[in-house]
Chains A and B, each alone.
Chain A
Amino acid sequence: MIHDAQMDYYGTRLATCSSDRSVKIFDVRNGGQILIADLRGHEGPVWQVAWAHPMYGNILASCSYDRKVIIWKEENGTWEKTYEYTGHDSSVNSVCWAPHDYGLILACGSSDGAISLLSYTGDGQWEVKKISNAHTIGCNAVSWAPAVVPGSLIEQPSGQKPNYIKRFASGGCDNLVKIWKEEDGQWKEEQKLEAHSDWVRDVAWAPSIGLPTSTIASCSQDGRVFIWTCDDASGNSWSPKLLHKFTDVVWHVSWSITANILAVSGGDNKVTLWKESVDGLWACISDVNKGQGGVSAITEGQQNEQ
């Protein structure tokens, strides 16, 4: 049973993870599918994988029910485990790399309710910060805010280190979406977004497209998908808009790179694509399964997990 499939930064390699405890990497250039690596190291189902930005090399993080986070690195063509984090007491459900501007930082959300932040400090060392009890009985998803300098959308003068404010969103079994902000090196809960009436299954912070608005999508066991937006620079006033209420659990939301399309994956195995119209209403533009709407969903390739 596959639990996650993610393309790398260039869209040339595909990483999948599965109940069979494996993480696999495929070369999918030119429509092909060639198994590059079968990474073994987890002792339970692997829930998610995340590619780091290529400026740090070929690095993949995976998280598993076995409570471990493993960071894999390709060195000289071999994928090896480069770091294993065992600081969680329960299933680690989500991993997400911070924007590359911040360095190599991985956020991990666990069923033990905590969120860990692993920062590479050089020389094989990782520094761990842990937010305990971020979500009671479990954090299901983490997603970083894009690296945007507050109050200035214009490129900073070169040489001057941008004053980034690091933020990420998390969703959990307490039905909440929370926004975390780093202040003086400490992570603090900045916002608590309440709208869902059941577990928040996934959160996705939309990529920045140069507008001052921040946008987060969240989906839940309750079948609802909310789009949260915040227009002010301080990041304090978030307002939800119900994208749709599905009849089944919504497991996953994913923004397109241009942040204008949201892919929603539901428990009924349906994937739908949503787009915001000019008047701010969200409309389903395609049901990927049925191939309707203005989208050509071409299956370029398929692969057998085993």
Chain B
Amino acid sequence: MKLKEIDRTAMQAWSPALQHPIYLATGTSAQQLDATFSTSASLEIFELDLSDPSLDMKSCATFSSSHRYHKLIWGPHSMTTGESVSGVLIAGGENGNIILYDPAKIIAGDAEVIIAQKDKHTGPVRALDVNIFQTNLVASGANESEIYIWDLNNFATPMTPGVKTQPLEDVSCIAWNRQVQHILASASPSGRATVWDLRKNEPIIKVSDHNNRMHCSGLAWHPDIATQMVLASEDDRLPVIQMWDLRFASSPLRVLENHTRGVLAIAWSMADPELLLSCGKDAKILCSNPNTGEVLYELPTNTQWCFDIQWCPRNPAVLSAASFDGRISVYSIMGGSADGLRQKQVDQLSSSFGNLDPFGTGQPLPPLQLPQQTASQSVILPLKKPPKWIRRPVGASFSFGGKLVTFENTKAQQQPGIDQQQQRHHVYVSQVVTEKEFLARSNQLQEAVRSEGFVSYCQNKIDMAQADFERSVWAFLKVNFEEDSRVKYLELLGYRKEDLRKKVNVLESCEVGEGQTNSDFLSIYFAVSNVDGLITQALLTGNFESAVDLCLHDNRMADAIILAIAGGQELLSRTQEKYFAKMQSKITRLITAVVTKNWKEIVQSCDLQNWREALAAVLTYARPEEFAALCDLLGNRLESEGDSLLQTQACLCYICAGNVEKLVACWTKAQDGNSPLSLQDLIEKVVILRKAVQLTQAVDPNAVGALLAEKMSQYANLLAAQGSIAAALTFLPANTNQPNIVLLRDRLCRAQGELPVGQEALKAPYERQPMPKARAGSVAGQIQGPQAPAQQYYQQGDNPPPPGFIMPGAVNPNMPPQQATSSSYNMYSQAGARPPYPQTYQATQQYSFGTGGPAVYQPQQPITAPASASYPNPAPNPTHPYLPSAPSHTMPSPLYPGQPQPSPTSLNPASSFPLPPSGASFQHGRPGPPATSVAYALPTGSTGTLPATSDLPASQRTGPQNGWNDPPALNRTAKKKKVPDNFMPPVPITSPIMNPLADPQSQMQQPPAPAPPVGAPSFQPPHLPAGQPVLQSPYQPAPQSLGPCIVPPAVSKTSTEGAPGAPIGNAIQHVQALPTEKITKKPIPEEHLILKTTFEALIQRCLLSASDPQTKRKLDDANKRLEFLYDKLREQTLSPTIISGLHNIVKSIETRSYMEGLNIHTHIVSTSNFSETSAFMPVLKVVLTQANKLGV
């Protein structure tokens, strides 16, 4: 498309590639006159401003010259890369003169712009070229075979490349080789081209074809291949461009005959050697690939000839062409819309000539009639082939989990004729880890949590701590895990009972003068040696006896008495004896508090500088139920009223209180900076404190406050970004509905190849999304009657329900293949997982893409799919998968109207599961997805969205809500037990209904059938045997869709099992080939079955004797998570040492020596590969510990 135009009849030169912004210099052409017949000349410089949408080019400078020009070039000599204009404009004049201009001075408006000038040539200088290797070398050509080489650094005397060629002739073109710097070529209108070697100072080869019709108007070297060049012929009888290779210089390598009349100018793109511009007397500007001869592009030009054409060196998509109608046009080779430009062009043309009367005839010239192109197509197509400069050869993109996807194309250049398949292209996936220390510390923390070695972890932290505060925080945290934590807290605060005792003794032995007494007991503590201080310490540590002694010693009888009352009957009586002897009172408030146990008031009113004492008092006296609240209160005061130092101390109060949330808030406030390590600092403490709280207080370990949740999710994000996805999952708060966490969990799970687990998963993470409601009706025609929903339902499941679940007794041999090939959870995962996103559709119904709809949802498909698609050769398979269903309905249609009913029955078995809740949720989950998908499968449905659901039993109706990510773990259990029980061998097919369906041909003829083929071309699994019927493909994709979103949770990263990770296509293939026997999950090897039975039995025993719900929950969870172990057993991927260790544990369980079991456990963990055992060993430890505790 045309970008700019200038109304000049001029030669043109682009600024060199280094120059920014881009300029175009124009010099009045010596050979053309415009309608003014003016012979005045000028040199102008325009700026190419592409951000200006108008066609005008901004004129930067005009210099009135006394010369007109045959050739103008802009060399980069002495160029700097700055923003200033630089380089040298070199002009070839009419009288053998070569003039050097300084473009910077022209733009600056200087009067003196000429750097140098030489009149050395004979006749007009038509040929100029700058050597691209030594930009100070310029070659010029003129009449009489004159060629000079000019050194711009020493312009006075030019050199010659050798003896003049004979006969003498004009030199019309000259060009330096693009690869070899001392090679120069010149050409003359006679059609001969001469190649000069400047080192030898002579012509080394002459190129000419023998018909003598060539009339050279253009000469250009190949940008990349040193020996190739093109010559263009101006002769209308031979309007060709010849490509020569000097290695074979007897005849042209290739002749481009795309012009119908003589070629006036050519230009070879430096940015892409496959682009050669040529303009001719046929008024065409063509862009061809000189290497093939193919015309790639024809510029939408006017009908005038162009006599000069130039690529812009800096912007490879831009070119300029000077035409005989007095215009220089700037084009983009990339196509684009030219609307609005064309009209302007015509207007300007008319007006520029309109009022002229150059001949004095009194008659204005008629407007120039430009023959308009007949096709008023405003859209200009781009080059047929993408230019080299837009082909991105390299890229690196981050993706979730700190992965970096990189690709590169080492052979960036594609040579024609080279099969692309020979080029190997790789995409690399790398794990980027930038926070090594962060990860290391995170691993330590996880290890501590896993091994429950909290005390040593804290101790280690204390040892490592740089700052006192850090040390005390860890000391406080550590105390949480020790016996008698309150006493230890006191010690940490500086109150040791033993120390006090010593001091009391000292006091009693040597009389100490009464120290300062202060009514506010809290301010006296720093004078530890005085009596009140000692009393206080004694009180704070609960040492009544010492306190009473001190009071007595200090003549504080009332205090002594009162204290004695609190101290017990015996002490009281002893004290009373001495009471009357002495009487004085000082520290009444403390005494009051101690006696009345009103600690709240103390905490509220004490001087914050004495927070330690207040905390100590609380630690000593507060009742367990008010202890945490008092610590909190003190922390709050410190935080809100104290100075910055005290604020941080509030953390200690919160640690005592076990208030995780407040600790997070306080710590966050005290620490600035968002670096991973500071977050790690916080999380370490929080995790440890949470563990402590879980040990000591009966709180829900999963309860997480908003702030903590945010921090934890930040932390998880960081871990994920470093590639530690599994670790990230473990730190993500489990019980929260915060959307960002739910989203992150979902993402992490899936990234790990698992399905989200946990309660919150019940909620579709994206369901909040408001979506416009979809229009109903598009597919309505395909659905017949009320059965449609059921039908859709089945189809949607697109892996029919496992035998025994939805349709008791109805065995579907070909469906469970997934189960067979991959881990057994596929099916459940699918059931649960599928709807996650579809659920959105259900809510809005809007995403049944119009095009996809019909293709994907043929009402008949459910039946046909298994029949024809899954069985390339139905014959060998004696049982028809869908037979069982046939008896259940009398409809002629192969739907499954009865299906909803059967499922309630399947509920019963479900309830018999060891984990009833899971069974229930399973039921919900399973029907759910289909229901959801119904909605989206039938954008309009027969009557809208709900008929489908309303046809379902109540239990199923809840399906959509329960949705896609029902905890797979639960399902797993249910399924594992269930499937084999209910599994029934396929019933032989007898139904006549099925026969037509089984026939692929008839299948095809059914109305909905056309759709399947649509799918066929788009997916051809590579391993598909070529001969397989096309019909097959429509269906095989169906199961496929499940694959991506469903990953068996059981498959851990290290799993070598092929199936879970296998492409859907593969799975499907296997499915088709698998015999029915393989439907069930791979069994656990018999010799290891005892592991499962023993562990399960142990858990059951524990469950029976466990009383508190928390333990029960733990055990339930353990039961589920041991499934990982069982899967590994099925896969037989565990190393022999682990296996034997597990058997040893089982033996110890049988003898009820759980401690021994734990020892074996520790041994296994310490000697095995972490990744191998991490999925189940911690769980096993929990079970053993519980069993030990419960003594079952």
Interface positions of A (Cβ within 8 A of B): 1-14, 16, 18-20, 27-30, 32, 34-40, 44-45, 47, 54-58, 65, 67, 73-83, 89-91, 93, 100-101, 103, 111-114, 120-125, 132-133, 135-138, 140, 158, 161, 173-176, 192, 197-199, 201, 222, 251-252, 254-258, 260-261, 263-267, 269-271, 273, 275, 285-286, 288, 294-306
Contact = CB atoms under 8 A, between A and B. Distances in A.
Contacts of A295: 432-434
Given A2-B409, A89-B335, A112-B336, A251 B395 contact: yes
Interface stretch (B209-217, B416-424, B509-517): B416-424
Interface of B: 1, 3, 20-21, 50-53, 314-315, 317-318, 332, 334-337, 379-382, 386, 390-410, 412, 414, 420-421, 423-434, 436, 717-718, 720-721, 747, 750-751, 753, 765-766, 768-775, 778, 798, 836-838, 840-841, 844-853, 855-856, 939, 1014-1015, 1017-1022, 1034, 1036-1045, 1047, 1051, 1053, 1055, 1060-1066, 1068
Given A5-B397, A82-B849, 17 more contacts: A5-B407, A6-B397, A10-B751, A13-B1044, A27-B1061, A36-B1063, A45-B391, A47-B390, A55-B766, A67-B382, A76-B856, A77-B798, A79-B1019, A90-B381, A122-B772, A263-B404, A302-B426
Given A89-B335, A265-B395, A258 B717 contact: yes
Nearest to B1040: A77
Contact of A192 (B51, B395, B427, B770): B51
Kindly name the residue among A16, A20, A55, A264 whose own CB sees the greatest number of chain B CB atoms within 10 A: A55
Given A16-B427, A27-B1043, A265-B396, A56 B840 contact: yes
Contacts of B1044: 12-13, 27, 36, 58, 74
Contact of B386 (A36, A44, A54, A125): A44
A195 to B, nearest CB: 11
Contacts of A296: 431-433
A2 B766 CA distance: 33
Contacts of B849: 73, 75, 82-83, 124
B750 A10 contact: yes
Nearest to A271: B396
5 contacts: A5-B405, A10-B751, A251-B392, A271-B394, A306-B421
Contacts of A44: 386
B428 A299 contact: yes
Nearest 3 A/B pairs, CB to CB:
A124-B850, A77-B1040, A78-B1037
A299 B408 CA distance: 14
B379 A256 contact: no
A301 B428 CA distance: 6
A251 B407 contact: no
A124 B778 contact: yes
Contact of A12 (B392, B718, B753, B1066): B753
B1127 to A, nearest CB: 14
B1043 A77 contact: yes
Contacts of B50: 135-137, 173-175
B767 to A, nearest CB: 9
B432 A261 contact: yes
B856 A75 contact: yes
Contact of A89 (B336, B386, B408, B1037): B336
A263 B1043 contact: no
Nearest to B420: A20
B668 to A, nearest CB: 13
B398 A257 contact: yes
A288 B396 contact: yes
A10 B400 contact: yes
A297 B765 CA distance: 33
Contacts of A263: 396-398, 404, 406
Contacts of B1014: 80
Contacts of B433: 294-296
Contacts of A89: 335-337, 379-382
Nearest to B769: A55
B386 A65 contact: yes
A35 B337 CA distance: 38
B706 to A, nearest CB: 9
B394 A123 contact: no
Nearest to B422: A306
A257 B1038 contact: no
Contacts of A65: 382, 386, 390
A40 B837 contact: no
Contacts of B402: 256-257
B1157 to A, nearest CB: 32
A110 to B, nearest CB: 8
A79 B1033 CA distance: 12
A168 B323 CA distance: 41
Contact of A271 (B332, B335, B406, B431): B406
Contacts of A174: 50-51
Contacts of A38: 1019-1020
Contact of A2 (B314, B407, B432): B407
B317 A138 contact: yes
A1 B1053 contact: no
Contact of B429 (A28, A101, A135): A28
Contacts of A201: 392
